[in-house]
């Protein structure tokens, strides 16, 4: 993940809020994190500066794992955090002043994402994995462009990095560049401000393999699309490989002009589908293996529980695993971790009270409570009573069943996962401020329990 310098403060401000929530001693927190900030981000490393050596040592020895988890939750990228002092970083910067001004080529690839640690499933990603492997072995010769599409959290970004890392390792003469559509837009805006669009185009002429993530976010940026169209043609016409990901098929990118969509469709378009329970369980074992964790201390029922309740979204699956590992680190338990040890971590007790519950029952009970039909509940109607009922139903699916955001969206007429997030946030806020609203939710929970 490439992060603009302007976002450093925003990221660290969010991190401090989350860290303060986990470090209960406020005066201690204020002392060791006083004047802390993100100094720089280089490749996959975030350099965090604090007030003095004592603070740096204290944080590194006691809270580095927590910081890594918090940064991952904010950025959804596996950065390695280093805590030091500003004076130490300034001194390091001075050493680099006399280095060659020509900067080495930066690929933006995350070395942790490879073909070896990508879990393949016949039901969801075998076809796209095979296509990605072919591309990596013979970039530019077949399937150009390769267009990978599917919902968020299924491994599209992992495959992009895997293609790039394989090429860099086996074909060192080729320059590989990974970036998101937003990164490309920022480069374009910078080039406009500096009046060097031609230099931007020249920059891409030197690249052999271009990996573009989340192309759908380019849809509303008219001038940027024009520049990208010419760069796209440059790659394809010169047999340079281009791989693109999106959350939907090229033909469904309505905001992109037809000539660009037709270029995308001219190569190979492959869907990466929702992962099933078996694949989710394999991913958990693979993640544990790659992190050198002794899985003999984690009962299989724990992993099965996580896989069952988070299949369908790899990011959510990783988040649940990180929560488990954080539990182990904080509590330092001895022996085997079982479900009984994790009641607080995953709200298992609450879910066991609703063990016969499913999304259909929630939708039916909520619709009946608000005197509407289930079809109205899952429709796109925006009348106030229907919206209130829909938000509460989504919230209950998340709170009681711990369903993945994507799955909840599917249950409610194919809503986007961000719609589900917004609904749950609104309900949480109303529960804290509106007594009548809270009473309605509690009544619905009692109805569902019985």
Q: Which of 81, 61, 72, 80 is nearest to 329 (CA)?
A: 61
Q: Are 380 and 329 in contact (CB under 8 A)?
A: no
Note every long-range contact of 401-404, with CB atoms under 8 Å and residues 24 or more positions apart, other chains counting: 401/309, 401/351, 401/354, 401/357, 401/358, 401/359, 401/362, 402/309, 402/310, 402/346, 402/347, 402/351, 403/309, 403/359, 404/153, 404/310, 404/311, 404/312, 404/313, 404/316
Q: What is the pLDDT along the chain (450 residues), one digit of tens a residue?
A: 556 666 888 889 899 989 988 887 888 888 888 889 998 888 788 999 998 888 898 899 889 989 999 988 888 888 889 999 888 887 776 655 444 444 567 788 888 888 988 888 887 888 999 999 999 998 988 888 888 988 877 888 999 999 999 998 888 888 898 988 888 888 777 777 777 777 777 778 888 898 988 887 776 666 677 777 778 878 888 888 889 888 888 777 776 667 777 777 778 888 888 877 788 888 888 877 776 666 666 777 777 877 877 766 777 777 777 777 666 655 655 556 666 666 555 655 444 454 567 889 999 999 999 999 999 999 988 888 899 999 999 999 888 887 878 888 889 998 888 888 889 889 988 888 888 898 899 889 888 876
Query: What local confidence, expressed as pLDDT, does residue 349 receive?
Result: 45
Q: Which of 245, 275, 263, 241 is nearest to 166 (CA)?
A: 241
Length reported for the chain: 450
Query: What local confidence, expressed as pLDDT, does residue 347 receive?
Result: 56
Q: Are 147 and 263 in contact (CB under 8 A)?
A: no
Tell me the β-bridge partners of 246.
149
Q: For residue 263, give every residue at least 6 positions away whose Cβ sits within 8 Å of its Cβ, in sequence order, or none.
A: 145, 229, 232, 233, 236
Query: What local confidence, expressed as pLDDT, does residue 95 receive?
Result: 59
Strand order in the sheet with 45-50: 37-42, 45-50, 80-85
Query: What local confidence, expressed as pLDDT, does residue 346 receive?
Result: 62
CA distance 162 to 174: 15
Strands 45-50 and 37-42: antiparallel
Query: What local confidence, expressed as pLDDT, does residue 10 receive?
Result: 87
DSSP 144: S
Paired tokens of 123: 């039901």
Query: What local confidence, expressed as pLDDT, does residue 102 receive?
Result: 45
Query: What local confidence, expressed as pLDDT, does residue 377 receive?
Result: 93
Query: What local confidence, expressed as pLDDT, does residue 100 receive?
Result: 40
Distances in Å between the Cα of 368 and the Cα atoms of 363, 365, 372, 374 are 9, 5, 6, 8
Query: What local confidence, expressed as pLDDT, does residue 123 receive?
Result: 79
Torsion, CA 139, CA 141, CA 143, CA 148, rounded to 10:
10
Query: What local confidence, expressed as pLDDT, does residue 389 receive?
Result: 93
Query: What local confidence, expressed as pLDDT, does residue 12 receive?
Result: 92
Paired tokens of 424: 């749950």
């Amino acid at each position: 993940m490439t992060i603009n310098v302007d976002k450093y403060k925003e990221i660290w401000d969010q991190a401090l809020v989350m860290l303060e929530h986990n470090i209960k001693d406020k005066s201690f927190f204020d002392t060791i994190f006083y004047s802390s900030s993100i100094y720089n981000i280089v490749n996959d490393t975030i350099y965090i500066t604090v007030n003095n050596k004592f603070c740096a040592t204290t944080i590194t020895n006691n809270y580095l794992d927590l910081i890594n988890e918090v940064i991952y939750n904010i950025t959804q990228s596996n950065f390695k955090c280093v805590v030091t002092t500003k004076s130490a970083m300034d001194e390091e910067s001075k050493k680099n002043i006399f280095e060659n001004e020509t900067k080495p080529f930066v690929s933006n690839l995350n070395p942790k994402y490879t073909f070896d640690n990508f879990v393949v499933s016949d039901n969801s990603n075998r076809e796209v994995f095979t296509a990605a492997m072919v591309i990596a072995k013979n970039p530019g010769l077949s399937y150009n462009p390769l267009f990978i599409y599917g919902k968020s959290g299924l491994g599209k970004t992992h495959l992009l990095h895997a293609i790039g890392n394989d090429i860099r390792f086996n074909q060192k003469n080729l320059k590989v560049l990974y970036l998101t559509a937003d990164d490309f837009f920022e480069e374009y805006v910078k080039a406009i401000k500096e009046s060097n669009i031609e230099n931007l185009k020249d920059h891409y002429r030197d690249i052999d393999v271009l990996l573009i993530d989340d192309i759908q976010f380019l849809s509303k940026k008219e001038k940027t699309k024009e520049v990208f169209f010419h760069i796209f043609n440059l790659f394809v016409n010169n047999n340079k490989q281009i791989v693109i990901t999106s959350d939907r098929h090229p033909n469904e990118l309505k905001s992109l002009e037809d000539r660009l969509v037709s270029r995308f469709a001219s190569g190979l378009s492959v869907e990466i589908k929702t992962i099933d329970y078996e694949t989710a369980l394999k991913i958990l074992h693979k993640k544990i293996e790659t992190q050198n964790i002794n899985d003999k201390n984690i009962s299989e029922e724990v992993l099965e529980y996580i896989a069952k309740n988070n299949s369908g979204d790899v990011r959510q699956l990783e988040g649940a695993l990180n929560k488990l590992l954080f539990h182990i680190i904080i509590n330092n338990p001895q022996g085997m971790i079982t479900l009984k040890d994790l009641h607080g971590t995953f709200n298992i007790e609450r879910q066991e009270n609703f063990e016969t519950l499913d999304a259909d029952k929630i939708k039916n009970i909520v619709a009946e409570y608000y005197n509407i039909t289930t079809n109205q509940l899952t429709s796109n109607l925006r009348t106030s009573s229907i919206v209130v009922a829909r938000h509460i139903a989504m919230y209950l699916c998340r709170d009681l069943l711990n369903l993945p955001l994507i799955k909840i969206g599917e249950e409610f007429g194919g809503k986007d996962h961000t719609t589900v997030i917004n609904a749950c946030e609104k309900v949480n806020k109303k529960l804290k401020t509106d007594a009548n609203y809270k009473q309605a939710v509690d009544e619905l929970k009692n109805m569902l329990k019985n």
